[in-house]
Amino acid sequence: MAKFNKYVQIGPATPAVNGAEAAMIKVCEKYPNVVAVLEDMGMPGLEWFKKHAPERIVECGIAEANGAVIAGALAAEGFMPFLHSFSFAVIERAYNQIRQSILVDRFNVKITARDGVWGDLGISHDIVEGLSCTRILPNLVILNPADVVEAEKAYIAMADYVGPVYFRMEQSAPAPLKIFTDDYPFEIGKAYQIKDGKDATIIATGYLVTEAIKALDILEKEGLDVGILNMCTVKPLDEEAIIRVAEQTRAIVTAENGSIVGGMGDGVAAVLGEYAPAALVRVGVEDEFSQSARLSADVDELKDLFGLGAKDIAIAVKEAIAKREQFKLVRK
């Protein structure tokens, strides 16, 4: 049985979006300048807006580029706009407008987007490149919470932070385990060590933290002591935490529900290359698009297809350990 660190108490699977919904209501009540900028989609807290502040709703329809420009203009006048849609729409259709009308002036706009491989909507809606295409944008903080508790705390932290933020929601993925206790101290820019380990470390973000936790059962049966570092803030990465676990184990696996090309794994690889050489294996989607497939209580075709499950992470850990031994990397 894995021994987890403080603030971790594994509970039943609970949709992370529930945390965002609860947080949005708190945010709206705390900040009267919050405005919902809709793009023919709902958003967390929308029912609260409809009941208590319908005048704070701006509907742009399927015109996402306009939505980004309107959000930037509202922020320039002191409002705090929240945009929400699928990643392909709210970010990729409005990429230039986000860059020009929001990020250049670092306007206080919050973007929440559905992203990741899971679902039955296929290539058009199940976006795997969301982290990759946003990580290169200056002035943008990126959050990808692991469970319902972290989703609520990260959402509130996003509102308290002054500046543009991309809050990634893996809403079509299976519900993650409840991982954190209610007093978990979330902080933007700080990773959290869920479990220490001496043989290897899994650096995971979002839903794949759940799969990393499940992988521990497989690895413990083989006598391996593996740690998990939860990387909710994908940008800026917590370089100190990455360096620390790399020096401790010299065997790192990154796990993300998205493309490994330009994703979190690439960011970790850059840190390792500059500061703390370690064997690295990246778990994520290869250089390809997502697909449409069945997701139910007993069938998860896309998880198996893209190799994003606990067993895949366990295999990656053993590959990283073998690489470490091959290249004779020395642990602290």
pLDDT tens track for 225-280: 999 999 999 999 999 999 999 999 999 999 999 999 999 999 999 999 999 999 99
Location of structure tokens 């994908």: 234
For residue 89, the enclosing domain spans 11-180
CB 20 within 8 A of CB 44: yes
**Same domain (yes/no): 121, 248:** no
Model pLDDT, residue 120: 80
Q: Mean pLDDT, to the nearest integer, of 20-31?
A: 96
Asked whether residue 219 is domain-assigned, the answer is: yes
Asked whether residue 2 is domain-assigned, the answer is: no
Counting the structural domains of the chain, the total is 2
The residue out of 180, 208, 243 marking a domain boundary is 180
The confidence band for 1, taking pLDDT boundaries of 50, 70 and 90, is low
The residue out of 180, 211, 238 marking a domain boundary is 180
**Same domain (yes/no): 128, 247:** no
Q: Mean pLDDT, to the nearest integer, of 89-96?
A: 96
**Same domain (yes/no): 163, 20:** yes
Model pLDDT, residue 15: 95
**Same domain (yes/no): 170, 205:** no
CATH number, domain containing residue 262: 3.40.50.920
Asked whether residue 1 is domain-assigned, the answer is: no
CATH number, domain containing residue 118: 3.40.50.970
**Same domain (yes/no): 318, 237:** yes
Residue 295 has pLDDT above 90, yes or no: no
pLDDT digits (tens, 9 = 90+) for 143-180: 999 999 999 999 999 999 999 999 999 988 889 999 99
Asked whether residue 77 is domain-assigned, the answer is: yes
**Same domain (yes/no): 110, 65:** yes
Asked whether residue 238 is domain-assigned, the answer is: yes
Model pLDDT, residue 122: 86
Asked whether residue 231 is domain-assigned, the answer is: yes
Model pLDDT, residue 173: 84
- To the question of pTM greater than 0.75 for the whole model, the response is yes
Average pLDDT of the chain, as a whole number = 95
Q: Report the interhelical angle of 239-249 vs 264-275 (nearest 10°).
A: 70
Q: Who contacts 223 (Cβ-Cβ below 8 Å, separation ≥6)?
A: none
H helices of the chain, in order, are 17-30, 46-52, 64-76, 87, 95-98, 130-135, 148-160, 208-221, 239-249, 264-275, 301-306, 310-326
The residue out of 180, 208, 240 marking a domain boundary is 180
* Burial (CB count <10 Å: 0-12, 13-18, 19+), residue 275: middle
